[in-house]
Structure 1
Amino acid sequence: MDHKEKKVKLAVNGGISFGAKLNAKQLTVIAEYMNDGDELELTTFQQLYIEVLETKVELVKEKFKEVGLSCYPVGNYVKSLRTCNFCKGEEEEGMPVAIELNKRIARKEVPFTLRPAYTGCPVGCGEPLVNDIGVMKVRDGYDLYIGGKAKGKDAKTGTLLMEQLTPEQLYDAVEKIITIYAEQGKKREPFFKFINRYGLENIKESIA
């Protein structure tokens, strides 16, 4: 093997579900594309980072897909949706909505890494209030928060932007917000800084 060949970093998870889980078959397939001494990086966003040879990226993605693994680009993109770690009850907690939302927004290119999170009830195990975009299922609707920040001395919870949305209203609002950020955000401008500069009211008006 040519050790000088360029490698590409992929973000991998076991798909959108309650908890960050991988099964034995998925772990075995991941291991097939690692050499002795290679390491997996476990992120705080329920993803594993693995480096693969650039010439094998598409093959690896296909092999991972066959066992239910999802691959995402690393860098200034919308991350895969972070979800609750402990709850179960797929229909009751709105997991089909989380899966669809992730399908619509993950991998989109943005000025700076954007972290969306989802939780199926007000307990908030998915930590939606301290991520860039947060969704919380409350009774039969979905509450949307934006602008949370989990790190630093200026850490803060997000602002409640819209309440009791239907799934379609939720998808539409989140997609519009990400489009505004992608088009109006400055290069490497974190989402919370973009909101402060662009204005929360302007965002509300743009997605109304």
Structure 2
Amino acid sequence: MTINAFSHNIPEKTFAKLNREGEFTRLAVSPGIINKHYTPAQFQTIAEVVGARGAIKYSASYSILLSIPTIELTTAKRKLEKVGLYIAKQGQIVAMKACDFCDGDKMEAAQITEELYQQLEGLEVPSRICINMNGCASACYNAVYDDIGLVYQKDSFDVYLGAVPMGKHAQAGELFMKKVSVQHIENLLQEIIRVYQERAYQKEPFYKFYKRTKDADFWQTIKCYENSSADSSRV
């Protein structure tokens, strides 16, 4: 039966439609970077802050998009955060997402994920970058299809760069480095972000920057430096 599957294909309250009638702000909320499970209290609060005027939309980026009257934004944020919801930062910044670590059964990379979030989330860049952390080699949350993909296995990361996430030219990122140790992954990411900040054109997406520059000497310098640092730490 398709009674509900195809009965309402065109939404009545899109973000664009709402803003023709008033001023609305969109928030992307989730239970957290790793946790993907909402509580009934969180859904109740989402319904309360959106109310009859706003709208709720499912997002492909592991979050729910809320369209809220801008005049009510401060109160709405306070209520959402009070029930433990994470509100994603917006703008031309480094953003981070992750898999659910097999619903918490494979948490080996959880600590370094939190440390990377604390150090990197919100850094200003020419165009928004998404770092996608996946906690095992299955990479079922498609880390290789984001700007910087991290796939964890055995105390190290495989690092993928330059994915084209959508469009007719969509493709996975290229393997940039294998087996980067937990101890050195932050330094590597800081260097990747630094060269993007310093050398990209204004608003140049990361995949275009990487495609334009991937044969440049500075990428090889980063690889050589990280490899030599990793080797010296094993001595």
Same-fold call, TM > 0.5? Answer: yes
CA contact 2:125–2:197 (8 Å) conserved in 1: yes
Measured in 2, the distance between the counterparts of 1:63 and 1:33 equals: 8
Among 201, 210, 232, the alignment partner of 1:195 is 210
Contact 1:41-1:50 at 8 Å conserved across structures: yes
Runs of 4+ in 1 over 6 A off after TM superposition: none
The equivalent position to 2:64 in structure 1, one of 42, 45, 48, is 48
The Cα shift of 1:75 comes to 3.7
How many Å apart are 1:142 and its aligned residue? 1.6
Is 2:125 aligned against 1:97? no
Q: Please, which of 104, 119, 124 is the counterpart of residue 109 of structure 1?
A: 124
Measure how far apart 1:108 and its partner are.
2.8
Aligned CA distance change for structure 1 residues 204 and 167 (closer, same or farther; 3 Å): same
- Judge conservation of contact 2:101–2:134 (CA < 8 Å) in 1: no
Residue 54 of structure 2 corresponds to 38
- Higher relative contact order, chain-length normalized (CA < 8 Å, sep 6+): 1
Range with bigger deviation, 69-78 or 113-122: 69-78
Distance in 2 of aligned mates of 1:55 and 1:108: 27
Q: Bigger radius of gyration, 1 or 2? A: 2
Map Cα deviations across residues 134-165 of structure 1 (whole Å, 9 max, x no partner): 01112221221111223233222222222222
User: Which of 3, 11, 15 is the aligned partner of 2:32?
Assistant: 15
Structure 2, gaps ≥5 residues long: 1-19, 226-235
The question of whether the paired residues in 2 share the 8 Å contact of 1:122 and 1:137 is answered with yes
CA distance in 1, matches of 2:58, 2:79: 20
Contact preservation (8 Å) 1:78, 1:116: yes
User: Any conservation in 2 of the 1:85–1:125 contact (CA below 8 Å)?
Assistant: no
The SS at the match of 2:159 is strand
Partner of 2:197: 182
Question: Which of 178, 185, 191 is the matching residue for 1:170?
Answer: 185
Matched letter for residue 61 of structure 2: F
Instruction: Show the counterpart of 2:174.
Output: 159
Structure 1 125/84 Cα, relative in aligned 2: closer, same or farther at 3 Å? farther
- Offset at residue 183 of structure 1 (A): 3.1
Q: Counterpart in 1 of 2:158? A: 143
Deviations 1:12-65 (A, max 9, x none): 1111225x3211111122222112152212221112222334444343333322
SS in 2 for 1:81: strand
Check the 8 A contact 1:15/1:69 in 2, yes or no. yes
Which stretch has the larger CA shift, 47-56 or 142-151? 47-56
TM-score normalised per structure 1: 0.83
SS of the residue corresponding to residue 44 of structure 1 reads coil
Q: Which runs of no fewer than 5 residues in structure 1 stay unpaired?
A: none
Matched ranges for 1:67-106 at <5 A:
67-84=83-100, 86-92=102-108, 94-106=109-121
Is 1:26 the counterpart of 2:42? The answer is: yes
8 A contact 1:90–1:96 mirrored in 2: no
Q: TM-score, normalised by structure 2?
A: 0.75
Distance 2:185 2:53 in 1: 44
Please give the root-mean-square deviation of Cα atoms over the aligned residues, in Å. Answer: 2.6
Aligned counterparts of 2:146 and 2:199: Cα–Cα separation in 1 = 20
Kindly tell me: are residues 180 and 117 of structure 1, through their superposed partners in 2, closer, same or farther at Cα, counting changes over 3 Å?
same
Write 1 or 2 for the structure with the bigger share of helix: 2
Identity over aligned pairs, percent: 24
One-letter amino acid of the structure 2 residue matched with residue 40 of structure 1? I
